Structure 1
Amino acid sequence: MASLQVEELSHSLLEISLQELVKEPIITIPQNFIRLDQEPPSSLPYGSPSPITTPTIDMSRLVSGEDDGHELEKLHSTCKEWGLFQLVNHGVSSSLLEKLKHELEEFYKLPLEEKMKYKIRAGEVEGYGNTAREAGKLDWADRFFMITNPIHRRKPHLLPELPSSLRNTLESYLLELQKLATKLLSLMAKALKIDVTEMIELFDDGMQSVRMTYYPPCPQPELVMGITPHSDATLLTILNQVNGVDALQIKKGGVWFPVSFLPDAFVVNVGDVLEIFSNGVYRSIEHRATANSEKERISVAFFINPKFEAEVGPSPSLINPKNPPLFKRFRMEQYVKDFFSRKLNGKTYLQHMSIENGEGNSA
């Protein structure tokens, strides 16, 4: 009977709050959250390997250029071979990161009725909640996703209506990450030997968004998925693991490996749009998040993309008779709409855009 009540409750909260669902201890995982279609975390190679050692990039060395370009070359090879790195000495103050942590923890302590002021509305993807993308299946997480740039695309009931302390801290944080993303993408253009102005024109005042995610503890983490495996439909994603609880996993050589974060480091990953723009030189990486049996996890992902009206495709600087385009050109706004209308499934959306596949949305 108890399990039936939990099942009914999970249906009633389908698009509301997992955090509310697990306030009372649950014994049976509701069917909506069971993901037997996914490789469980226990499917790692024999012997439970240590978290994979991902490359580390030092932002202070990149900017200073005092090492004869060694750090820039390391950035270039990392984006080609990994598509993901940990960024240290990034310049965002530890006091701001600590304040953001505090404000997010306070937000997720708010009563449900307060958080529901920001709920996802019918037919939209922005807001607070937990929505099913396929066959009624849900990730083990509550998310608050919103577009933050251009300013005129902000939903008036979301960021502007947040508690003032959280709103001000988030605005400061987003401003710092905008500056950081500009530096990183400009350096990547230099490493790719693309005119920096071409890169800047692509993303300057482009679409930026943020996803604040709360992962509650799960009594049977092997049955659920914190976030379904996917690659990001972005230029870059900057991930801040707010409260130090690891859950990110990346697929390397066909095997899932956990990533252990360095203190105060950001994890930066190449998105599908940057793989397309670099004509396949840089590679986006498939990743997922698992659940923890004992601890809650809070993360903030910042997504950087071109302008909605931009036409995106391989950089003309990289195309020549010996290096033909691998991907079709497309309008960014249509690309985003298509991404959110499809289920998350590894890198299949990027494959959909390849010329070799014979598909994709040409502009």
Structure 2
Amino acid sequence: MSFNPDNEMEEPLTFGSSIAVPNVQEMVKNNPLEVPQRYIRSTEEMEKVNYLTHLSSQIPVLDFALLSSGNSLELLKLDKACKDWGFFQLVNHGIEKEVLQRMKEATTKFFDLPIEEKEKYAMPPNDVHGYGHAYVVSEDQILDWSDLMFLLIYPTRCRRLQCWPKTPKGFNEIIEAYSREVNRVSRELLSTLSAIMGMENHVLHELHKEIIQGLRMNYYPPCITPENVLGVSPHSDSGTITLLLQNDDVCGLEIRHKGGWVPVVPKSDALVVNVGDILEIWSNGKYKSIEHRVVTNKNRERISYATFISPWDDVEVEPLDHMVDAENPKLYKKVIFGEYLRQSLQRKMEGKAHTDVARIK
């Protein structure tokens, strides 16, 4: 779909579809002692994991206020974080604690609603807006131990308001307040990323044409045998950057680093930021979109709040000229973002396999 400068939608902005599967939260509620075969991972897949828990404390922590002020040391830390880890925790971002807390409380209330109420906002057969599951593309694939609610936030004209929950009371306004603040942070981060890539601050904004911002609220029920399931399969994110709010006291997110998995221990009120595929392509691989996954636990539910920042649908993405030279040959061919995103959504999550379409063989 093309970008219309008059801000009029000629057709809906859709992202593909996902096969309807059972609600995991309801399944656990009805029979907490059973894990259906379709969710169980192979012994080989679960045992070959190399846990690197001792590296958790080394995941970079960056100060948003210092980045925004152009602090040279903090900018160097950002550059190194994007190159070496593809992930960092962002503190001092200026989002009021009350806004974060209200978002967490309202989302918890939503997922606690009766299934009949939540299914009023179920994903339609031809799209992934609303309540349900994503990346379910075949009847025999192993399923993730999670449910989700996905909403397109910006541009506002692209919202599917029929998918926005009317309960709990005020939830829409809370989502709006939270997303507006995350949008502010993400725009400043794009400016800072432009600077460390050797460009004027506005360049990454302009490359997006118009920023698409989506919000996915993820619910991970407890599992009687957490060693046999995954909350989310290993994958990298298809967009530019992702900003994630975690629960303060429940671990689950793990990132691939040095051949193993490193838990991202929640840091109170911090946002976890990660590089997406599009930033990797623009930087010609200097910055890496990293595989990550989610594990579950036996006793606690976990909710997370992922905001995805992406270019407009018809933006052509390829390595920027100044990121390519004799020592750094071009690694990626030109892709149209909307097509790239849809092909990634129409396959099960398998690490970074979906990025093959962009790689120069």
TM-score by length of 2: 0.88
Is 1:269 the counterpart of 2:306 in the alignment?
no
The correspondence for 1:34, drawn from 40, 56, 65, is 40
- Relative CO higher for 1 or 2, CA cutoff 8 Å, sep ≥ 6? 2
Q: Distance in 2 between matches of 1:42 and 1:351?
A: 24
Is 1:223 the counterpart of 2:208 in the alignment?
no
Amino acid at match of 2:103: L
Change (3 A) 1:38 1:288: farther
Tell me the equivalent position of 1:133: 137
Residue 320 of structure 1, CA deviation: 4.2
Tell me the equivalent position of 1:78: 81
Q: Distance in 2 between matches of 1:162 and 1:339?
A: 32
Identity of aligned residues (%): 38
Secondary structure of 1:304 counterpart: strand
Tell me the equivalent position of 1:237: 242
Q: Distance in 1 between matches of 2:357 and 2:57?
A: 29
Tell me the equivalent position of 1:149: 154
Secondary structure of 1:75 counterpart: helix
- Check the 8 A contact 2:248/2:267 in 1, yes or no: no
Change (3 A) 1:345 1:234: same
Amino acid at match of 2:115: L
Query: CA offsets, 1:155-201, max 9 Å, x none?
Result: 13112756551110110111111110111111011011023332111
- Check the 8 A contact 1:243/1:299 in 2, yes or no: no
Q: Distance in 1 between matches of 2:279 and 2:286?
A: 9
Q: Which structure 2 residue ranges, 5 or more long, are not aligned?
A: 1-18
- Check the 8 A contact 2:50/2:259 in 1, yes or no: no
Secondary structure of 2:162 counterpart: coil
Change (3 A) 1:14 1:334: closer
Query: CA offsets, 1:60-90, max 9 Å, x none?
Result: 111223x4x0000110111011100000101
Q: Distance in 2 between matches of 1:317 and 1:295?
A: 48
Change (3 A) 1:206 1:41: farther
The correspondence for 1:89, drawn from 92, 100, 103, is 92
The correspondence for 1:249, drawn from 248, 254, 269, is 254
Matched length: 341
Q: Distance in 2 between matches of 1:86 and 1:204?
A: 27
Q: Within 5 Å, which residues of 2 pair with 1:104-253?
A: 104-130=107-133, 132-134=136-138, 135-159=140-164, 161=166, 163-203=168-208, 205-242=210-247, 244-253=249-258
Q: Distance in 2 between matches of 1:88 and 1:41?
A: 34
Change (3 A) 1:319 1:195: farther
Task: Name whichever of 199-208 and 249-258 sits farther off.
Answer: 199-208
Tell me the equivalent position of 2:5: none
Q: Distance in 1 between matches of 2:157 and 2:218?
A: 24
Task: Name whichever of 125-134 and 106-115 sits farther off.
Answer: 125-134
- Check the 8 A contact 2:165/2:171 in 1, yes or no: no
Residue 19 of structure 1, CA deviation: 0.9
TM-score by length of 1: 0.88
Q: Which structure 1 residue ranges, 5 or more long, are not aligned?
A: 1-12, 358-363
Amino acid at match of 1:105: T
Q: Distance in 2 between matches of 1:52 and 1:250?
A: 13
Tell me the equivalent position of 2:297: 292
Q: What RMSD in Å do the two structures reach over aligned CA positions?
A: 2.2
